[in-house]
Protein backbone atom coordinates (compact mmCIF):
# COMPACT_ATOMS: atom_id res chain seq x y z
CA UNK A 1 0.00 0.00 0.00
CA UNK A 2 2.91 2.37 0.81
CA UNK A 3 4.39 1.81 -2.67
CA UNK A 4 1.07 2.72 -4.31
CA UNK A 5 0.78 5.87 -2.17
CA UNK A 6 4.28 6.93 -3.21
CA UNK A 7 3.40 6.25 -6.84
CA UNK A 8 0.26 8.37 -6.51
CA UNK A 9 2.17 11.21 -4.86
CA UNK A 10 4.71 11.24 -7.68
CA UNK A 11 2.47 10.65 -10.69
CA UNK A 12 -1.01 11.54 -9.43
CA UNK A 13 -4.19 9.49 -9.22
CA UNK A 14 -4.15 6.47 -11.61
CA UNK A 15 -7.76 7.29 -12.53
CA UNK A 16 -6.47 10.54 -14.05
CA UNK A 17 -3.43 9.13 -15.88
CA UNK A 18 -3.19 9.35 -19.65
CA UNK A 19 -3.34 6.26 -21.86
CA UNK A 20 0.42 5.94 -22.24
CA UNK A 21 1.05 5.97 -18.49
CA UNK A 22 -1.70 3.42 -17.88
CA UNK A 23 -0.27 1.18 -20.59
CA UNK A 24 3.19 1.52 -19.02
CA UNK A 25 1.72 0.46 -15.68
CA UNK A 26 0.16 -2.65 -17.24
CA UNK A 27 3.40 -3.48 -19.05
CA UNK A 28 5.32 -3.19 -15.78
CA UNK A 29 2.89 -5.63 -14.18
CA UNK A 30 3.23 -7.93 -17.20
CA UNK A 31 7.02 -7.80 -17.06
CA UNK A 32 6.97 -8.58 -13.33
CA UNK A 33 4.75 -11.63 -13.96
CA UNK A 34 7.02 -12.82 -16.77
CA UNK A 35 10.10 -12.46 -14.59
CA UNK A 36 8.41 -14.44 -11.83
CA UNK A 37 7.68 -17.36 -14.16
CA UNK A 38 11.04 -17.32 -15.93
CA UNK A 39 13.19 -16.89 -12.83
CA UNK A 40 11.26 -19.68 -11.12
CA UNK A 41 12.01 -21.97 -14.08
CA UNK A 42 15.69 -21.01 -14.04
CA UNK A 43 15.86 -21.70 -10.31
CA UNK A 44 14.23 -25.13 -10.65
CA UNK A 45 16.64 -26.05 -13.44
CA UNK A 46 19.71 -24.82 -11.51
CA UNK A 47 21.89 -26.61 -8.95
CA UNK A 48 20.44 -24.31 -6.26
CA UNK A 49 17.12 -26.10 -6.41
CA UNK A 50 16.70 -29.17 -4.16
CA UNK A 51 17.08 -32.35 -6.18
CA UNK A 52 13.68 -33.55 -5.08
CA UNK A 53 12.03 -30.55 -6.83
CA UNK A 54 13.17 -31.91 -10.19
CA UNK A 55 10.78 -34.81 -9.69
CA UNK A 56 7.91 -32.33 -10.00
CA UNK A 57 9.13 -30.07 -12.82
CA UNK A 58 9.60 -30.96 -16.48
CA UNK A 59 13.09 -29.47 -16.79
CA UNK A 60 13.44 -30.73 -20.37
CA UNK A 61 10.43 -28.66 -21.44
CA UNK A 62 11.91 -25.55 -19.85
CA UNK A 63 15.21 -26.08 -21.66
CA UNK A 64 13.32 -26.58 -24.91
CA UNK A 65 11.33 -23.35 -24.37
CA UNK A 66 14.22 -21.34 -22.93
CA UNK A 67 14.79 -19.28 -26.09
CA UNK A 68 11.09 -18.32 -26.24
CA UNK A 69 11.01 -17.40 -22.55
CA UNK A 70 14.09 -15.19 -22.87
CA UNK A 71 12.62 -13.59 -25.99
CA UNK A 72 9.39 -12.79 -24.14
CA UNK A 73 11.35 -11.10 -21.35
CA UNK A 74 13.40 -9.09 -23.83
CA UNK A 75 10.30 -8.10 -25.81
CA UNK A 76 8.47 -7.06 -22.61
CA UNK A 77 11.32 -4.72 -21.66
CA UNK A 78 11.53 -3.34 -25.22
CA UNK A 79 7.76 -2.72 -25.41
CA UNK A 80 7.79 -0.92 -22.06
CA UNK A 81 10.69 1.30 -23.12
CA UNK A 82 8.95 2.02 -26.43
CA UNK A 83 5.77 3.17 -24.69
CA UNK A 84 7.76 5.32 -22.26
CA UNK A 85 9.68 6.93 -25.12
CA UNK A 86 6.49 7.90 -26.97
CA UNK A 87 4.53 8.84 -23.85
CA UNK A 88 5.24 12.58 -24.02
CA UNK A 89 4.66 12.90 -27.76
CA UNK A 90 1.40 10.94 -27.96
CA UNK A 91 0.11 10.66 -24.38
CA UNK A 92 -3.56 9.86 -25.02
CA UNK A 93 -3.61 7.37 -27.89
CA UNK A 94 -5.81 4.33 -27.22
CA UNK A 95 -3.33 2.21 -29.17
CA UNK A 96 -1.10 1.99 -26.09
CA UNK A 97 -3.84 0.39 -24.01
CA UNK A 98 -4.86 -2.00 -26.81
CA UNK A 99 -1.28 -3.15 -27.32
CA UNK A 100 -0.57 -3.51 -23.58
CA UNK A 101 -3.85 -5.34 -22.91
CA UNK A 102 -3.41 -7.79 -25.78
CA UNK A 103 0.21 -8.45 -24.88
CA UNK A 104 -0.78 -9.09 -21.27
CA UNK A 105 -3.50 -11.45 -22.47
CA UNK A 106 -1.44 -13.43 -24.98
CA UNK A 107 1.67 -13.90 -22.86
CA UNK A 108 -0.17 -14.94 -19.71
CA UNK A 109 -2.18 -17.35 -21.86
CA UNK A 110 1.13 -18.84 -22.99
CA UNK A 111 2.35 -19.26 -19.40
CA UNK A 112 -1.00 -20.60 -18.17
CA UNK A 113 -0.79 -23.39 -20.74
CA UNK A 114 2.48 -24.68 -19.24
CA UNK A 115 1.28 -24.66 -15.63
CA UNK A 116 -2.35 -25.55 -16.40
CA UNK A 117 -5.37 -23.56 -17.52
CA UNK A 118 -7.15 -24.59 -14.31
CA UNK A 119 -4.28 -23.17 -12.24
CA UNK A 120 -5.39 -20.82 -9.43
CA UNK A 121 -3.27 -17.98 -10.84
CA UNK A 122 -5.14 -18.29 -14.15
CA UNK A 123 -8.44 -18.04 -12.32
CA UNK A 124 -7.32 -14.99 -10.33
CA UNK A 125 -6.25 -13.16 -13.50
CA UNK A 126 -9.38 -14.10 -15.47
CA UNK A 127 -11.68 -13.02 -12.62
CA UNK A 128 -9.83 -9.99 -11.25
CA UNK A 129 -7.99 -8.39 -14.16
CA UNK A 130 -11.12 -7.42 -16.15
CA UNK A 131 -12.71 -5.82 -13.07
CA UNK A 132 -9.71 -3.59 -12.39
CA UNK A 133 -9.15 -3.20 -16.13
CA UNK A 134 -12.64 -1.77 -16.75
CA UNK A 135 -11.96 0.84 -14.07
CA UNK A 136 -8.47 1.90 -15.12
CA UNK A 137 -8.23 1.17 -18.84
CA UNK A 138 -10.09 1.69 -22.10
CA UNK A 139 -13.14 -0.58 -22.03
CA UNK A 140 -12.81 -1.67 -25.66
CA UNK A 141 -9.21 -2.74 -25.07
CA UNK A 142 -10.14 -4.69 -21.94
CA UNK A 143 -13.14 -6.36 -23.59
CA UNK A 144 -11.06 -7.45 -26.58
CA UNK A 145 -8.22 -8.76 -24.39
CA UNK A 146 -10.64 -10.57 -22.08
CA UNK A 147 -12.45 -12.10 -25.06
CA UNK A 148 -9.18 -13.32 -26.55
CA UNK A 149 -8.10 -14.78 -23.19
CA UNK A 150 -11.42 -16.51 -22.62
CA UNK A 151 -11.47 -18.03 -26.09
CA UNK A 152 -7.81 -19.03 -25.82
CA UNK A 153 -8.33 -20.65 -22.43
CA UNK A 154 -11.35 -22.51 -23.79
CA UNK A 155 -9.51 -23.78 -26.88
CA UNK A 156 -6.47 -24.93 -24.90
CA UNK A 157 -8.60 -26.56 -22.20
CA UNK A 158 -10.71 -28.38 -24.79
CA UNK A 159 -7.61 -29.52 -26.65
CA UNK A 160 -6.25 -31.06 -23.46
CA UNK A 161 -9.49 -33.02 -22.97
CA UNK A 162 -9.19 -34.53 -26.45
CA UNK A 163 -5.51 -35.36 -26.02
CA UNK A 164 -4.35 -33.00 -28.78
CA UNK A 165 -2.37 -31.03 -26.20
CA UNK A 166 -0.88 -32.23 -22.91
CA UNK A 167 -2.34 -30.59 -19.82
CA UNK A 168 0.17 -28.52 -17.83
CA UNK A 169 3.25 -29.95 -19.60
CA UNK A 170 5.62 -28.27 -17.14
CA UNK A 171 4.02 -30.16 -14.26
CA UNK A 172 5.14 -33.61 -13.15
CA UNK A 173 3.60 -35.71 -10.40
CA UNK A 174 0.79 -33.27 -9.61
CA UNK A 175 -0.70 -36.02 -7.45
CA UNK A 176 1.02 -38.68 -5.40
CA UNK A 177 0.38 -42.40 -5.70
CA UNK A 178 -2.31 -42.06 -3.03
CA UNK A 179 -4.12 -39.40 -5.09
CA UNK A 180 -3.17 -36.55 -2.74
CA UNK A 181 -2.20 -33.20 -4.28
CA UNK A 182 1.53 -32.58 -4.26
CA UNK A 183 2.56 -30.13 -1.53
CA UNK A 184 5.20 -28.73 -3.90
CA UNK A 185 2.61 -27.84 -6.53
CA UNK A 186 0.12 -26.55 -4.00
CA UNK A 187 2.75 -24.08 -2.71
CA UNK A 188 3.84 -23.25 -6.26
CA UNK A 189 0.29 -22.48 -7.35
CA UNK A 190 -0.11 -19.97 -4.54
CA UNK A 191 3.37 -18.60 -5.27
CA UNK A 192 2.29 -17.78 -8.83
CA UNK A 193 -1.14 -16.48 -7.76
CA UNK A 194 0.00 -14.27 -4.87
CA UNK A 195 1.46 -11.33 -6.90
CA UNK A 196 -1.58 -11.14 -9.20
CA UNK A 197 -3.97 -11.32 -6.26
CA UNK A 198 -2.04 -8.73 -4.25
CA UNK A 199 -1.78 -6.21 -7.07
CA UNK A 200 -5.42 -6.60 -8.09
CA UNK A 201 -6.63 -6.24 -4.50
CA UNK A 202 -4.47 -3.17 -3.85
CA UNK A 203 -5.61 -1.40 -6.99
CA UNK A 204 -9.25 -2.36 -6.44
CA UNK A 205 -8.99 -1.06 -2.87
CA UNK A 206 -7.37 2.18 -4.00
CA UNK A 207 -9.84 2.80 -6.82
CA UNK A 208 -12.86 2.16 -4.61
CA UNK A 209 -11.38 4.46 -1.97
CA UNK A 210 -10.96 7.19 -4.58
CA UNK A 211 -14.54 6.68 -5.76
CA UNK A 212 -15.86 6.98 -2.22
CA UNK A 213 -13.82 10.14 -1.70
CA UNK A 214 -15.06 11.63 -4.96
CA UNK A 215 -18.64 10.67 -4.16
CA UNK A 216 -18.32 12.37 -0.77
CA UNK A 217 -16.79 15.49 -2.34
CA UNK A 218 -19.50 15.67 -5.02
CA UNK A 219 -22.19 15.21 -2.39
CA UNK A 220 -20.56 17.87 -0.21
CA UNK A 221 -20.34 20.28 -3.14
CA UNK A 222 -23.99 19.72 -3.99
CA UNK A 223 -24.99 20.63 -0.43
CA UNK A 224 -22.51 23.42 0.35
CA UNK A 225 -22.46 27.07 -0.66
CA UNK A 226 -19.04 27.51 -2.32
CA UNK A 227 -18.47 31.04 -0.96
CA UNK A 228 -19.50 30.77 2.68
CA UNK A 229 -19.06 27.00 3.14
CA UNK A 230 -22.47 26.92 4.83
CA UNK A 231 -25.31 24.67 3.72
CA UNK A 232 -26.75 25.92 0.44
CA UNK A 233 -30.45 26.63 -0.09
CA UNK A 234 -31.22 23.08 -1.19
CA UNK A 235 -29.44 21.59 1.81
CA UNK A 236 -30.86 23.92 4.47
CA UNK A 237 -34.41 23.39 3.17
CA UNK A 238 -33.84 19.64 3.26
CA UNK A 239 -32.70 20.00 6.88
CA UNK A 240 -35.78 22.11 7.58
CA UNK A 241 -38.10 19.39 6.26
CA UNK A 242 -36.29 16.76 8.34
CA UNK A 243 -36.38 18.82 11.56
CA UNK A 244 -40.00 19.84 10.94
CA UNK A 245 -41.06 16.21 10.54
CA UNK A 246 -39.21 15.29 13.76
CA UNK A 247 -40.84 18.18 15.60
CA UNK A 248 -44.32 17.27 14.30
CA UNK A 249 -43.97 13.60 15.28
CA UNK A 250 -42.12 13.68 18.56
CA UNK A 251 -42.91 17.06 20.04
CA UNK A 252 -39.74 19.15 20.51
CA UNK A 253 -40.36 22.66 19.30
CA UNK A 254 -38.55 24.02 16.25
CA UNK A 255 -37.52 27.65 15.78
CA UNK A 256 -36.40 29.43 12.62
CA UNK A 257 -34.30 32.55 12.23
CA UNK A 258 -34.37 34.32 8.87
CA UNK A 259 -31.50 36.81 8.81
CA UNK A 260 -30.88 39.57 6.27
CA UNK A 261 -27.73 41.71 6.21
CA UNK A 262 -28.76 45.35 6.32
CA UNK A 263 -27.94 47.60 3.33
CA UNK A 264 -25.87 44.89 1.68
CA UNK A 265 -26.47 46.35 -1.80
CA UNK A 266 -24.76 49.52 -0.61
CA UNK A 267 -21.67 47.48 0.31
CA UNK A 268 -21.45 46.06 -3.21
CA UNK A 269 -22.10 49.43 -4.85
CA UNK A 270 -19.57 51.26 -2.67
CA UNK A 271 -16.78 48.78 -2.19
CA UNK A 272 -17.32 46.27 -5.01
CA UNK A 273 -18.37 42.65 -5.14
CA UNK A 274 -15.09 41.23 -3.72
CA UNK A 275 -15.75 43.28 -0.58
CA UNK A 276 -19.33 42.05 -0.59
CA UNK A 277 -18.10 38.46 -0.77
CA UNK A 278 -15.77 39.11 2.17
CA UNK A 279 -18.70 40.48 4.17
CA UNK A 280 -20.74 37.33 3.45
CA UNK A 281 -17.85 35.09 4.50
CA UNK A 282 -17.26 36.92 7.79
CA UNK A 283 -21.00 37.12 8.53
CA UNK A 284 -21.28 33.37 7.95
CA UNK A 285 -18.49 32.69 10.44
CA UNK A 286 -20.14 34.94 13.01
CA UNK A 287 -23.51 33.21 12.64
CA UNK A 288 -21.93 29.75 12.77
CA UNK A 289 -20.10 30.62 15.98
CA UNK A 290 -23.25 32.13 17.50
CA UNK A 291 -25.35 28.95 17.44
CA UNK A 292 -25.07 25.52 19.03
CA UNK A 293 -23.47 22.41 17.54
CA UNK A 294 -26.78 20.73 16.62
CA UNK A 295 -28.23 23.87 14.99
CA UNK A 296 -28.18 24.36 11.22
CA UNK A 297 -27.01 27.49 9.41
CA UNK A 298 -27.47 27.91 5.67
CA UNK A 299 -27.24 30.55 3.02
CA UNK A 300 -30.85 30.99 1.97
CA UNK A 301 -30.12 33.30 -0.96
CA UNK A 302 -28.06 36.43 -1.64
CA UNK A 303 -27.44 38.08 1.72
CA UNK A 304 -30.13 36.07 3.52
CA UNK A 305 -29.36 33.27 5.97
CA UNK A 306 -31.65 30.65 7.48
CA UNK A 307 -30.92 29.21 10.92
CA UNK A 308 -32.72 26.14 12.25
CA UNK A 309 -32.89 25.70 16.03
CA UNK A 310 -34.23 22.20 16.84
CA UNK A 311 -35.68 21.69 20.31
CA UNK A 312 -35.70 25.42 21.03
CA UNK A 313 -38.70 27.41 22.32
CA UNK A 314 -39.39 31.05 21.51
CA UNK A 315 -37.46 32.48 24.45
CA UNK A 316 -34.42 30.32 23.79
CA UNK A 317 -34.52 31.18 20.09
CA UNK A 318 -34.79 34.88 20.89
CA UNK A 319 -31.67 34.74 23.06
CA UNK A 320 -29.76 32.97 20.29
CA UNK A 321 -31.03 35.44 17.70
CA UNK A 322 -29.88 38.35 19.87
CA UNK A 323 -26.46 36.75 20.22
CA UNK A 324 -26.21 36.38 16.43
CA UNK A 325 -27.33 39.99 15.93
CA UNK A 326 -24.73 41.25 18.41
CA UNK A 327 -21.95 39.23 16.80
CA UNK A 328 -22.82 40.66 13.38
CA UNK A 329 -22.85 44.17 14.81
CA UNK A 330 -19.46 43.64 16.48
CA UNK A 331 -17.72 42.67 13.22
CA UNK A 332 -14.97 44.89 11.79
CA UNK A 333 -14.42 43.40 8.36
CA UNK A 334 -11.01 44.16 6.86
CA UNK A 335 -11.29 44.67 3.09
CA UNK A 336 -7.67 45.72 2.59
CA UNK A 337 -5.99 49.07 2.24
CA UNK A 338 -6.59 49.83 5.90
CA UNK A 339 -10.35 49.93 5.35
CA UNK A 340 -12.96 48.11 7.40
CA UNK A 341 -16.70 47.64 7.03
CA UNK A 342 -19.31 47.52 9.79
CA UNK A 343 -22.52 45.58 9.21
CA UNK A 344 -25.76 44.78 11.01
CA UNK A 345 -28.49 42.23 10.48
CA UNK A 346 -32.27 42.12 10.75
CA UNK A 347 -33.77 38.89 12.08
CA UNK A 348 -37.21 37.35 11.78
CA UNK A 349 -38.01 34.59 14.29
CA UNK A 350 -40.76 32.00 14.34
CA UNK A 351 -41.32 29.02 16.65
CA UNK A 352 -43.94 26.28 16.38
CA UNK A 353 -44.17 25.65 20.13
CA UNK A 354 -47.86 26.72 20.20
CA UNK A 355 -48.86 24.73 17.12
CA UNK A 356 -46.83 21.73 15.95
CA UNK A 357 -49.13 21.29 12.94
CA UNK A 358 -47.81 24.42 11.21
CA UNK A 359 -46.20 23.37 7.93
CA UNK A 360 -42.56 24.03 7.10
CA UNK A 361 -43.58 26.41 4.30
CA UNK A 362 -45.83 28.32 6.71
CA UNK A 363 -43.00 28.57 9.23
CA UNK A 364 -40.77 30.04 6.53
CA UNK A 365 -43.52 32.46 5.53
CA UNK A 366 -44.02 33.61 9.12
CA UNK A 367 -40.26 34.05 9.59
CA UNK A 368 -40.14 36.09 6.41
CA UNK A 369 -42.98 38.33 7.60
CA UNK A 370 -41.21 38.85 10.92
CA UNK A 371 -38.03 39.77 9.00
CA UNK A 372 -39.89 42.45 7.04
CA UNK A 373 -41.24 43.87 10.31
CA UNK A 374 -37.68 43.99 11.63
CA UNK A 375 -36.61 45.98 8.59
CA UNK A 376 -39.58 48.34 8.94
CA UNK A 377 -38.73 48.79 12.63
CA UNK A 378 -35.36 50.35 11.83
CA UNK A 379 -33.29 47.19 11.11
CA UNK A 380 -30.62 45.63 13.35
CA UNK A 381 -33.23 44.03 15.57
CA UNK A 382 -35.05 40.73 16.22
CA UNK A 383 -38.82 40.44 15.67
CA UNK A 384 -40.87 37.39 16.67
CA UNK A 385 -43.46 36.12 14.26
CATH number for the domain harbouring residue 274: 3.30.70.270
Q: Are 318 and 174 part of one and the same domain? A: no
Q: CB neighbours of 82 closer than 8 A, spacing ≥ 6?
A: none
Q: Look at residue 321 and tell me if it is in a domain.
A: yes
Q: Are 273 and 298 part of one and the same domain? A: yes
Q: Are 294 and 213 part of one and the same domain? A: no
Q: Are 142 and 207 part of one and the same domain? A: yes
Q: Are 217 and 237 part of one and the same domain? A: no
pLDDT of residue 5: 55
Q: Are 243 and 177 part of one and the same domain? A: no
Q: Are 250 and 277 part of one and the same domain? A: yes
* Structural domain boundaries enclosing 301: 233-384
Q: Are 218 and 276 part of one and the same domain? A: no
Q: Are 38 and 85 part of one and the same domain? A: yes
Q: Quick one: three-class SS letters along the chain?
A: CHHHHHHHHHHCCHHHCCHHHHHHHHHHHHHHHHHHHHHHHHHHHCCCCCHHHHHCECHHHHHHHHHHHHHHHHHHHHHHHHHHHHCCCCCCCHHHHHHHHHHHHHHHHHHHHHHCCCCHHHHHHHHHHHHHHHHHCCHHHHHHHHHHHHHHHHHHHHHHHHCCCCCCCCECCCECCCCCECHHHHHHHHHHHHHHHHHHHHHHHHHHHHHHHHHHHHHHHHHECCCCCCECHHHHHHHHHHHHHHHHHHCCCEEEEEEEECCHHHHHHHHCHHHHHHHHHHHHHHHHHHCCCCCEEEEEECCEEEEEEECCCHHHHHHHHHHHHHHHHCCCEEEECCEEECCCEEEEEEECCCCCCCCHHHHHHHHHHHHHHHHHCCCCCEEEC
Q: Are 258 and 349 part of one and the same domain? A: yes
Q: Look at residue 213 and tell me if it is in a domain.
A: yes
Q: Look at residue 303 and tell me if it is in a domain.
A: yes
Q: Look at residue 75 and tell me if it is in a domain.
A: yes
pLDDT of residue 2: 54
pLDDT of residue 315: 95
Q: Look at residue 228 and tell me if it is in a domain.
A: no
Per-residue burial over 224-245, b = 16 or more CB atoms within 10 Å of its CB, e = otherwise: bbeebebbbeebbbebbeebbe
Domain boundary among 169, 193, 223: 223
Q: Are 198 and 240 part of one and the same domain? A: no
Domain boundary among 172, 188, 223: 223
Number of domains in the chain: 2
Q: Look at residue 65 and tell me if it is in a domain.
A: yes
* Distances in whole angstroms, Cα of residue 84 to Cα of each of 11, 90, 94, 299: 14, 10, 14, 50
pLDDT of residue 201: 84
- The tens-digit pLDDT sequence of the chain (385 residues) is 455 455 555 556 677 788 888 899 889 989 999 999 999 999 999 988 898 888 899 999 989 999 999 999 999 999 999 998 988 888 888 899 999 999 999 998 899 899 888 888 888 888 888 877 887 888 899 999 999 999 999 999 999 999 999 999 999 998 877 888 889 999 999 998 898 888 888 877 877 887 888 888 888 888 999 999 999 999 999 999 999 999 999 888 999 999 999 999 999 999 999 999 999 999 999 999 999 999 999 999 999 999 999 999 999 999 999 999 999 999 999 888 888 999 999 999 999 999 998 999 999 999 999 999 999 999 999 999 8
Domain boundary among 171, 205, 223: 223
State how far the Cα of 329 lies from the Cα of 283, in Å rounded to an integer.
10
pLDDT of residue 1: 47
Q: Are 213 and 238 part of one and the same domain? A: no
Amino acid sequence: MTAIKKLIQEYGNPLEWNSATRAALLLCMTLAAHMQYVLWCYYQASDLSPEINKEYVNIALFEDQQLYLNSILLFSVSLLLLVLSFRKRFPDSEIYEHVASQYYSFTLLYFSYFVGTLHIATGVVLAGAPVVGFILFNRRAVLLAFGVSLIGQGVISYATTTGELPYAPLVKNLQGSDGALSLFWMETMYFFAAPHLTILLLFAYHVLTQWRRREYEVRLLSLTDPLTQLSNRRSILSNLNHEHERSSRYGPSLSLLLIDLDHFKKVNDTWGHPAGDQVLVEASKALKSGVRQNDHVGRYGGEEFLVLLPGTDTEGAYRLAERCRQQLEALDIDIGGGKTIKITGSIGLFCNEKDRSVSADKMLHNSDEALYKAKDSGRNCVIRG
